[in-house]
């Protein structure tokens, strides 16, 4: 079981890793680069044989301490399908809320439909779980919907990321749609959605932006008017205070 520190899910599942969006504040890229590489010809390399790599079997990597392990990010943050991971969620018998591809944008325009279909198929084979997806490219949801590929199932939740006004959004009442405002970088309004997550930028990035209380209140007021639950990440505690934290889920208590 891949336990996670992400507060709004129980576990993560990463059959696809890597992303080409290039967000400055990207935590996933930092982790992938730190643990990048695989063993090749007696050394460790991150050379990727193809622009999009598909791995049926895991590669190995030998760390500086001499330990050889399964390479978590053999090609760093280059988009990679780890096909050998697809069945792991079937082995998790207890129902979980799972963030799918926390280390990628599964719906980035560079991701082949086939990869997405393989991930959906894996999720359908483990229907005991709830699956949360997130993208910065919500237009892809619409494209997949038009092609009849987007899974229409009660346990699938399709999210998109927004950080400040001007973001792309997507809503279709046939699906569970949500918005993750994380990190909140400016004043922003939200539109039709079934759930809102809000979080501040974390880490030590030099140009880190601390959200203003007014930005958070604006989002909460709109959500309240729409009767939509709000989940605030712990990174907001210093701004709103523990007593004002909201940890609401659209499916009831987590």
Site for ligand SF4, rule CB under 6 A = 19, 21-23, 26, 28-29, 105, 136
DSSP class of 7 = T
Nearer to ligand SF4, 126 or 200 (CB): 200
Alpha helix segments (H runs only) across 87-192 = 113-124, 139-147
Nearer to ligand SF4, 67 or 206 (CB): 206
Which residues are within 8 A (CB) of 12 and not within 5 positions of it... i.e. 6 or more apart?
Answer: 2, 4, 6, 98, 99, 100, 102, 103
Nearer to ligand SF4, 21 or 145 (CB): 21
* Least spacing, CB of residue 159 vs ligand SF4, in Å: 12
Nearer to ligand SF4, 17 or 126 (CB): 17
* Least spacing, CB of residue 101 vs ligand SF4, in Å: 9
For tokens 């880190």, the residue is: 208
Q: How far apart are the first and last CA of the chain?
A: 17
* Least spacing, CB of residue 154 vs ligand SF4, in Å: 26
> CB-side exposure of 239: number of CA atoms within 13 Å?
20
* Least spacing, CB of residue 41 vs ligand SF4, in Å: 30
């Amino acid at each position: 079981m891949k336990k996670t520190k992400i507060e709004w899910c129980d576990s993560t599942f990463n059959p696809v890793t890597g992303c080409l969006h290039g967000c400055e504040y990207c935590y996933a890229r930092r982790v992938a680069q730190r643990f990048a590489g695989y063993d090749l010809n007696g050394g460790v390399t991150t050379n990727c044989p193809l622009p999009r790599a598909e791995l049926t079997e895991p590669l190995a990597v030998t760390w500086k301490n001499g330990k050889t392990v399964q390479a978590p990010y053999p090609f760093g943050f280059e988009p990679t399908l780890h096909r050998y991971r697809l069945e792991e969620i079937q082995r998790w018998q207890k129902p979980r809320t799972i963030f799918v591809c926390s280390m990628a944008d599964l719906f980035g325009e560079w991701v082949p439909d086939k990869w997405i279909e393989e991930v959906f198929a894996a999720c359908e084979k483990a229907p005991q779980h709830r699956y949360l997806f997130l993208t910065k490219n919500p237009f892809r949801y619409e494209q997949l919907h038009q092609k009849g590929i987007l899974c229409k199932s009660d346990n699938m939740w399709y999210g998109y990321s927004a950080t400040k006004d001007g973001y792309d959004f997507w809503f279709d009442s046939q699906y569970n749609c949500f918005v993750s405002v994380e990190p909140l970088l400016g004043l922003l309004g939200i539109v039709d959605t079934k759930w809102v997550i809000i979080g501040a930028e974390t880490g030590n990035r030099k140009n880190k932006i601390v959200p203003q209380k007014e930005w958070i209140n604006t989002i909460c007021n709109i959500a309240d008017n729409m009767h939509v639950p709000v989940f605030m990440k712990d990174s907001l505690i210093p701004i709103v205070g523990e007593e004002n934290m909201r940890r609401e889920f659209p499916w009831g208590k987590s």
